């Protein structure tokens, strides 16, 4: 006669189902973990009792800690409180949000703009709202995860073309059914290269396809007034009718926006679920971004400083035989190959006082693990010189 059985424990059953996946990531050297930083400035972080120069943030213009940006946020915090309290379409839309949308539209040369709480949500909302059953959503193979996930969540047919290969895109468009929406990053976040936007726009026009460009890593950094890679390529609203930008990288704040025609923005307000059904960012965040946009437009100094640091890093790395990927943006990856030596290099750099992120699969394809160096206008010449020297020693 068998004894009493243990009562079913749903939590333990779930843990037992999930544990093998965690063990696999651990065995492959791919398990991610958060790190807590006790103090952070524009280029310094304190971690595990040591101060490191930060070379893995996306604060490209150093605006996140700019006193003008911080002061704008503090003033709005006093006026509007800590949170928005609701979605934009309920009571969450403040005068700061409205002013920011108008300024973003004017800056990017579009009729209107719409704020989203994150870039990820903006891309999910765009794909879901603009492509449906019977349509084709055509994307670069190295697009950001948010674009890929948006394509998979939409009911459209997801078609991929070879990375930055405009001719392969042309072939894909020739056989793609229904309405065709092409979505591409402008600057690719893990490679640092720039999409051939002019050729892509020409192929879209030839096939009557709609082009959406994600300027997450181009906005603030490239083009006149920092308007992005599309503007640098001479493309306006007619060629790029759907423009997405993030506010938490070069602009030093948080959130994202889509800019385009008034009809597009009104349509997204009705049908983009990631906009309709989420809480608006705090008004203080919108105020900080407004200050960041004004600085970006009016002051070329940070962009000039950033360009100087990029050139310095590339010249120094090449002089020491450190293999760089082709990039003229703040994203300067050093491809290592396998995950284990990449992590080892990252840890050695941290011990030497430099925070450089190891990027491993599944973020990048297998066999292409890399160190992702990101540069900021706030880095000094001495900061970059010291990093190059440390890399040169470790690379040998």
Which segments are annotated as binding site for substrate?
Answer: 32, 144, 363
Annotated active-site residue 249? The verdict is yes
Indicate the length of the chain as a whole number: 396
CB of 196 closer than 8 Å to CB of 232: no
Q: By three-state DSSP, how is residue 121 classified?
A: helix
State the DSSP H helix or E strand holding residue 139, giving kind and residue range, or none if neither.
strand 136-140
Phi then psi dihedrals of residue 198, to 5 deg: -65, -45
Among 80, 97, 249, 379, the active-site one is 249
Binding site for pyridoxal 5'-phosphate, residues?
119-120, 189, 217, 246
Annotated active-site residue 80? The verdict is no
Among 136, 189, 284, 346, the active-site one is 189
Annotated active-site residue 97? The verdict is no
Tokens 């920011």 locate to: 100
Q: Which two tokens stand for residue 33?
A: 């973990």
Look at phi and psi of residue 124 and say left if phi exceeds 0, alpha if psi is from -120 to 50, else beta: alpha
3-state secondary structure 219-268: CCCCCHHHCCHHHHCCCCCCCCCEEEEECCCCCCCCCEEEEECHHHHHHH
CB of 224 closer than 8 Å to CB of 107: no
Among 217, 284, 327, 376, the active-site one is 217
What is the distance between the alpha carbons of residues 290 and 65, in angstroms, rounded to a whole number?
Answer: 14
Q: By three-state DSSP, how is residue 395 classified?
A: helix
What is the distance between the alpha carbons of residues 203 and 74, in angstroms, rounded to a whole number?
Answer: 46
Kindly list the catalytic residues: 189, 217, 249
């Amino acid at each position: 006669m068998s004894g009493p059985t243990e009562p079913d424990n749903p939590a333990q059953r779930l843990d037992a189902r999930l544990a093998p996946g965690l063990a696999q990531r651990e065995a492959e050297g791919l398990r991610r973990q958060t790190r807590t930083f006790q103090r952070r400035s524009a280029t310094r972080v304190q971690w595990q009792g040591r101060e490191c120069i930060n070379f893995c943030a996306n604060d490209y213009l150093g605006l996140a800690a700019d006193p003008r940006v911080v002061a704008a946020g503090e003033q709005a915090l006093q006026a509007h409180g800590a949170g928005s309290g609701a979605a934009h379409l309920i009571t969450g839309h403040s005068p700061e949000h409205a002013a920011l949308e108008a300024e973003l539209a004017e800056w990017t040369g579009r009729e209107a703009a719409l704020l989203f709480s994150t870039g990820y949500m903006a891309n999910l909302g765009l794909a879901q709202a603009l492509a449906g059953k019977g349509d084709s959503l055509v994307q670069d193979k190295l697009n950001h995860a948010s674009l890929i996930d948006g394509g998979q969540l939409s009911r459209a047919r997801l078609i991929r073309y070879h990375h930055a290969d405009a001719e392969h895109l042309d072939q894909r468009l020739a056989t793609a059914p229904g309405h065709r929406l092409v979505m591409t990053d402008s600057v690719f976040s893990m490679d640092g290269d720039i999409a051939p936007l002019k050729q892509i726009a020409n192929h879209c026009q030839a096939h009557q396809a709609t082009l959406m460009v994600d300027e997450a890593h181009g906005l603030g950094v490239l083009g006149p007034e920092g308007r992005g890679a599309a503007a640098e390529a001479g493309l306006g609203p007619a060629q790029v009718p759907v423009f997405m930008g993030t506010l938490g990288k070069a602009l030093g704040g948080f959130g994202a926006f889509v800019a385009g025609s008034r009809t597009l923005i009104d349509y997204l307000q009705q049908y983009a679920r990631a906009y309709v059904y989420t809480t608006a960012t705090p008004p203080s965040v919108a105020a900080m971004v407004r200050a960041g946009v004004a600085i970006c437009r009016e002051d070329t100094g940070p962009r000039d400083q950033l360009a100087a640091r990029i050139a310095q890093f590339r010249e120094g790395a090449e002089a020491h035989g450190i293999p760089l990927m082709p990039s003229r943006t703040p994203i300067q990856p050093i491809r290592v190959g396998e995950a284990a030596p990449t992590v080892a290099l990252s840890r050695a750099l941290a011990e030497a006082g430099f925070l450089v992120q190891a990027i491993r699969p599944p973020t990048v394809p297998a066999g292409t693990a890399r160190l992702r160096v990101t540069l900021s206008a706030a880095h000094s010449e001495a900061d970059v010189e010291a990093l190059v020297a440390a890399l040169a020693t470790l690379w040998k």
